[in-house]
Every structure is written in structure tokens, then in C-alpha cells.
Chains A and B, each alone.
Chain A
Amino acid sequence: MSLPPLTTLPNPIRPAFTKGLTPGSVIVNIGPSHPATHGTIQIVAEISGERVVRTDVHCGYLHRGFEKECESHTWHTLIPYVDRLNYCSALINDFAYCEAVEKLMGIELTPRCRHLRTLLAEYSRIADHLTCVAAALMEMGAMTAFLYLVTIRDYVYEHIADLTGARVTHSYGRIGGLARDLPDGWLKRLEEILDQMDTFVDRVHGLVDRNRIFIDRMRDVGVIATAEAINWGFTGPILRSTGAPRDLRKDTPYLSYGELEFEIPVGIKGDNYDRYYVRMREIDESKHMIRQLIDLLQPGPVSVDDRRCTLPDKEAVYTEIEALINHFKLIMDGPQVPAGEAYSAHEGANGELGFYLVSVGGGVPWKVHCRSPSFVHMGGVHKMLDGYQLADLVPTFGSINMIGGECDR
């Protein structure tokens, strides 16, 4: 077996430029598989000395036809695909998608489901921010801080696995509710983890916040102003790092966010340091929200009692013909969603995560479109890379937290 010679392989991309603007500048290709790119992304950059003149960012290496695939699954069976968009905070994807379907079906959630979804969304946000900050720090050589943060993240993953059965892609949301209620002792362990998190996060603050090397790499690097950020479609921690307190949890409250007390941390000038700090502060706010939600949680059903979407109890399926048929129809035909279109947006860990669904009636979607924050951010990321040093590309890219799963879909 012989491989074709490398030179005959077609180039999957056509770079925006192949010649430098200034004499002496060099075009370099970075990625798509590079240990420091924090995701599968390709950057073609023109370099003059150590300075980046311009960049052309290519994504798509993780494209797997999410939207096409959804069109041949029922509304219910595509939930595992939704998990794989932002795999660092899969539960937020689940809940945003389910909410869009629930809008089409006109379903009102039970109070326990609303509170639990909010709690788990915040828990996922913590895991996502921990991952982002940890990886960004590791890429700058802060191995200890990385290990502290992924240690606590692993506690979170294991803990969510106790509830959902999976560490990363949980498939826990259901249309009209959740897959199951909390197991015994889950909330007690949750409080333990939140306390341990305080310890670990404080250690990281102590290690890097006022660290000379860290500040030199982060301060005044990758700066973006609010107007520019909005023009390029930035949302989430990146927009907040510019000083704009824009957060869908506050601006258009959904789930239980209207009942919670929390602040929106913002940065000063939209550089890498601000993005680090906004994420760290959001972890604190999420912990604060989770503690409030633990108090708000009351016993009750986690799924609506609606035969159009909720599976009947297993015991009834085995003993009553109506329940058996109901179960069969829900699995084989899928939940029957009325014709129409809906857009639902949640504050994902990286920004506005929207689902635009089109239904023509029946159990299979006509169209499922995901407005993913990472993808839109990749369209404007050159604004934060151009003009800085080549080495700055690594922390800047790390602070954006591009997630290939949701960027490339």
C-alpha cells in the first residue's frame, strides 16, 4: 500500500492571501492541528518579524453535518447530537434546544424542572469556564494552576455523571422535562464540591492574578472595544470583558433567572486579562446562584404530564396498553410538534446560543439551526489577533474559548 505523494493532495482551503503586503513579511500556516491552538482551527498569518500583520482564520475541521443529520431524526432522538455542540457545557445546549421545542409545543415546565435546569446550566457554566481558564493558563506554562482547575472540574464531571450517567455528553434534557430526578445525596455532594471549589479557585487567584509574567502576557493584549465587539457579533464573556453588562440571563430572563440575585461581572478594556477575570468572577456568581437554587428546590415532578412528549412510567408501560402504545408512538414517531418556527436563545458559556427550529408538523424537524457563539466569534477573531506578537496568538485564542464542536457543527 503506498500513499499518494503529499504534493498531489489538494489544499482544503484557499487562503485569502498568499503574498505579503510588505517586503520581508512571511506567510505562515498555523494549525489546524497544533498543540497551542486550543481547538482544531487553522490560521494563515502574515508575519513581519514577530508581529502579526493580518490573519485569515479557517474553521470547519470538525464539521460533521449536525444540521443535516437532525433532519432525519425525531425531535427526541437528536438530543445526543445537541450535546456534542459545546461539549464543555453540554447541558446548556440540551436545555436551549428543549426550550425551543417546548415553545413550538406550548409547554410550560414544572417549577422543579425549571430550577433544576437553571442549577445544572450554572453548574455546566462553571465546568466550561474552568476548562477555558485552565487550558489558557496551561498554554502559558502555568501547569499548577491548570491542575488545580481541572481537578475541581473533574469533581464536577464525576458528580454530573452520578446524575446523568455520562461525564461529558450527558443527554439529560428531555422535551418537557428532564431524563430523571436527582439521586439521593446529590445536593449534599454538590455543596461539598462548591466549598472545595472556593479553595481551588482562590489558589489560582493567588498564583496568577498579580503574577508579573501573567500580566505581561495578558494585559493590553487582544484588546477589543465594545462597539467593535458588537459589530463583529461577539456575545458572552468576550462582550462583557469590554465593559458592556450584556447577559441574556439578566436582559431576557428565562428558566428561573428572574428569581435569582446575581451580578454581571464586566471588564475594563476587553483584553485577555479582562476575559480571564470575567470568567473567574462568573464562576463565583454561578456558585452564588446554585446556592440560591438549592434553597428554592421543592419536591415535585421533573417532567410535565403531557402525553405528547413525556414517556410514560415504565411500570405503566408493562401493565397498561395505552401507556405501551404511548411509549411506542413517542419512540417510533417522535413527539408531534405543531408546524411553526421558533428561535430560543440561552446565555451559553461562550455567548448567545440560539436554536432556530422549523417544524412542518410531525415527529421529525424540517430544520434545526444552531446559532453558535464560537462560530460567530471566529468571524471576528482577527480583530483581536492582528497587530500583536505571534506568541500573543496563543493566550488570545485561549481567552476566546473556541469550541470546535459548536463552531463547526
Chain B
Amino acid sequence: MNTGGNLLDRVQASLGAQALETGMAHGILVLQIAPESLAPMVDRLKREFGFDLFLDVTATDWPQRRPRFDVVYHFYSTRDFVRVRLKTRVEEADPTVDTLVPLYGSARYMERECHEMYGIRFRGNDDLRPLLLYEGFVGHPLRKDYPKQKEQPLVPYRDVQP
């Protein structure tokens, strides 16, 4: 028995007022929110509505748009089997959102990846060391203005002997 549809209706009715935009996209409830309402909203999603699994955080870069970045979160309820996507926009000059580490352990690692790939800062996450990249890597490779072919070898290339 799947009660997920009702749950999403309740979430939409209850949290819709704090969201800038709401809608359904391919079975997922999408809430567009302001960065400052992220942490309180996730807290309610977890405690009131049972979205206990934090699946994923990533960002989307829109270089021509202000604010430039979307930070995109996916949550799943292991009781009702439905998903919620939260999207929040941040400026290039201050790409900062609150961390979700106090709510979900898994946020720690995923925020590290999002930070190194897009330069999104997660306020309150004290461990934003490089993860898939290495110490000293300059720039954020998944930003659209980072050239795909750019190389930053950690060990300098050696000359090939003739």
C-alpha cells in the first residue's frame, strides 16, 4: 500500500507557503526555496514528514543567470517511498547555504563533493577538504567556465626522451 501521493499533497499544503514555487515533476515534489529557509524546511521534512534518507546534493550552473547557481537536494522517505527535490538559488559572489550535517550524517561527504565541484560553501560543515580532486587543485571543474581540457598535474610531466 502506497500512501506516498497523499504525503506529497500534505507536504505541499504545509510547506508550500514557505516555498517560492512548488510543482510536481515526474513523480517528484519540487520545492523552490530561498537559501535561508533551507535548514528549517529540511528539518520539518525530516521530523514531521519522515524524509529520513538524504540522497543527494548537487548544483547546476547557469552562467548567464543571476543568481548563478541552483543547489539541488533530493530526499526520500523510506516509509512512504516518495521523493522531494529542494532547489535554492545562490549568487556567485556568495555561494553559501547552510549545511545539513546536523540532520544527516551522509551530508558530510556529499557536501564536500558539491563544494569542490561547484564552489558552493556549506556553512557549518567543518570538513570541506577536496575529495575526488586533490589538495591544491585550483578552481571548480563542474562550473561551465572551467575548460574541460585544462590540466593541473600534481606531478609535473616529464620530457619524453628522443
A interface residues, Cβ below 8 angstroms from B? 1, 3-4, 9-14, 16, 58-60, 63, 65, 67-69, 71-72, 103, 228, 230-233, 235, 244, 246, 251-252, 340-345, 352, 354, 356, 358, 366-367, 369, 371, 375-376, 378-380, 383, 408-409
Indicate if the CB atoms of B132 and A356 lie closer than 8 Å.
no
Indicate if the CB atoms of A14 and B129 lie closer than 8 Å.
yes
B109 within 8 A of partner (CB): yes
In the complex, which residue of chain A has the Cβ closest to the Cβ of B28?
Answer: A343
Indicate if the CB atoms of B53 and A235 lie closer than 8 Å.
yes
Indicate if the CB atoms of A371 and B56 lie closer than 8 Å.
yes
Indicate if the CB atoms of B142 and A354 lie closer than 8 Å.
no
In the complex, which residue of chain A has the Cβ closest to the Cβ of B143?
Answer: A68
Alpha-carbon distance A375/B55, docked complex (angstroms): 11
Q: Which of B26, B58, B131 contacts A369 (CB 8 A)?
A: B58
B interface residues, Cβ below 8 angstroms from A? 25-26, 28, 52-56, 58, 60-61, 72, 74, 76, 78, 81, 83, 85, 104-106, 108-110, 113, 117, 127, 129-136, 141-142, 146, 148, 154-156, 158-159, 161
Q: Which of A67, A72, A246, A352 contacts B142 (CB 8 A)?
A: A67
Alpha-carbon distance A345/B28, docked complex (angstroms): 11
Alpha-carbon distance A149/B75, docked complex (angstroms): 36
In the complex, which residue of chain A has the Cβ closest to the Cβ of B81?
Answer: A251
New A-B contacts (15) at CB < 8 Å, excluding given A68-B141, A379-B109: A1-B158, A12-B154, A13-B134, A58-B131, A59-B131, A60-B133, A67-B142, A71-B148, A228-B105, A231-B104, A232-B106, A343-B74, A378-B109, A380-B105, A409-B132
Indicate if the CB atoms of B132 and A366 lie closer than 8 Å.
no
Q: How far is the CB of A172 from chain B (nearest CB, A)?
A: 24
Q: How far is the CB of B143 from chain A (nearest CB, A)?
A: 10
Chain A residues whose C-beta falls within 8 Å of the C-beta of B155 in the assembled complex: 4, 9
Chain A residues whose C-beta falls within 8 Å of the C-beta of B52 in the assembled complex: 230-231
Known contacts: A12-B154, A233-B53, A343-B85. The answer to whether A63 contacts B133 by CB under 8 A is yes
Chain B residues whose C-beta falls within 8 Å of the C-beta of A103 in the assembled complex: 26
Chain B residues whose C-beta falls within 8 Å of the C-beta of A244 in the assembled complex: 78
Chain B residues whose C-beta falls within 8 Å of the C-beta of A252 in the assembled complex: 81
Indicate if the CB atoms of B109 and A376 lie closer than 8 Å.
yes
Chain B residues whose C-beta falls within 8 Å of the C-beta of A230 in the assembled complex: 52-53, 78
Indicate if the CB atoms of A12 and B78 lie closer than 8 Å.
no
Indicate if the CB atoms of B26 and A366 lie closer than 8 Å.
no
Q: How far is the CB of B117 from chain A (nearest CB, A)?
A: 8
Chain A residues whose C-beta falls within 8 Å of the C-beta of B141 in the assembled complex: 65, 68
Chain A residues whose C-beta falls within 8 Å of the C-beta of B148 in the assembled complex: 65, 68-69, 71-72
Q: List 30 A-B contacts (CB under 8 A).
A: A1-B158, A1-B159, A4-B155, A4-B156, A11-B135, A12-B154, A13-B130, A13-B135, A14-B129, A16-B127, A58-B131, A60-B130, A60-B134, A69-B148, A71-B148, A103-B26, A233-B106, A233-B110, A246-B78, A340-B25, A343-B85, A344-B26, A352-B76, A354-B55, A354-B56, A354-B74, A367-B60, A371-B55, A376-B55, A379-B106
Chain A residues whose C-beta falls within 8 Å of the C-beta of B25 in the assembled complex: 340-342
Alpha-carbon distance A110/B87, docked complex (angstroms): 34
Chain A residues whose C-beta falls within 8 Å of the C-beta of B110 in the assembled complex: 233, 375-376, 379
- A10, A58, A68, A235 — which one has the most chain B CB atoms within 10 A of its CB? A68
Chain B residues whose C-beta falls within 8 Å of the C-beta of A367 in the assembled complex: 60-61
Alpha-carbon distance A232/B83, docked complex (angstroms): 17
Chain B residues whose C-beta falls within 8 Å of the C-beta of A356 in the assembled complex: 56, 58, 72, 74
Alpha-carbon distance A103/B60, docked complex (angstroms): 19
Chain B residues whose C-beta falls within 8 Å of the C-beta of A231 in the assembled complex: 52, 104-106
Alpha-carbon distance A368/B110, docked complex (angstroms): 16
Chain B residues whose C-beta falls within 8 Å of the C-beta of A345 in the assembled complex: 55, 83
Q: How far is the CB of A316 from chain B (nearest CB, A)?
A: 33
In the complex, which residue of chain A has the Cβ closest to the Cβ of B134?
Answer: A12
Q: How far is the CB of B150 from chain A (nearest CB, A)?
A: 10
Q: How far is the CB of A43 from chain B (nearest CB, A)?
A: 14
Indicate if the CB atoms of A408 and B132 lie closer than 8 Å.
yes
Q: Which of A1, A10, A59, A342 contacts B136 (CB 8 A)?
A: A10
Known contacts: A9-B155, A59-B131, A358-B60. The answer to whether A376 contacts B106 by CB under 8 A is yes
Q: How far is the CB of B107 from chain A (nearest CB, A)?
A: 9
Chain B residues whose C-beta falls within 8 Å of the C-beta of A9 in the assembled complex: 154-155
Alpha-carbon distance A68/B141, docked complex (angstroms): 7
In the complex, which residue of chain B has the Cβ closest to the Cβ of A383?
Answer: B105
Q: How far is the CB of A62 from chain B (nearest CB, A)?
A: 9
Q: Which of A14, A233, A343, A380 contacts B83 (CB 8 A)?
A: A343
Give the top 9 A-B pairs by smallest Cβ distance, nearest first. A379-B109, A233-B106, A60-B132, A12-B134, A251-B81, A371-B56, A63-B132, A232-B105, A231-B105
Alpha-carbon distance A375/B112, docked complex (angstroms): 12
Alpha-carbon distance A340/B133, docked complex (angstroms): 29
In the complex, which residue of chain B has the Cβ closest to the Cβ of A65?
Answer: B141
Alpha-carbon distance A372/B85, docked complex (angstroms): 17
In the complex, which residue of chain A has the Cβ closest to the Cβ of B111?
Answer: A379
Indicate if the CB atoms of A60 and B131 lie closer than 8 Å.
yes
Chain A residues whose C-beta falls within 8 Å of the C-beta of B161 in the assembled complex: 1
Q: How far is the CB of B99 from chain A (nearest CB, A)?
A: 14
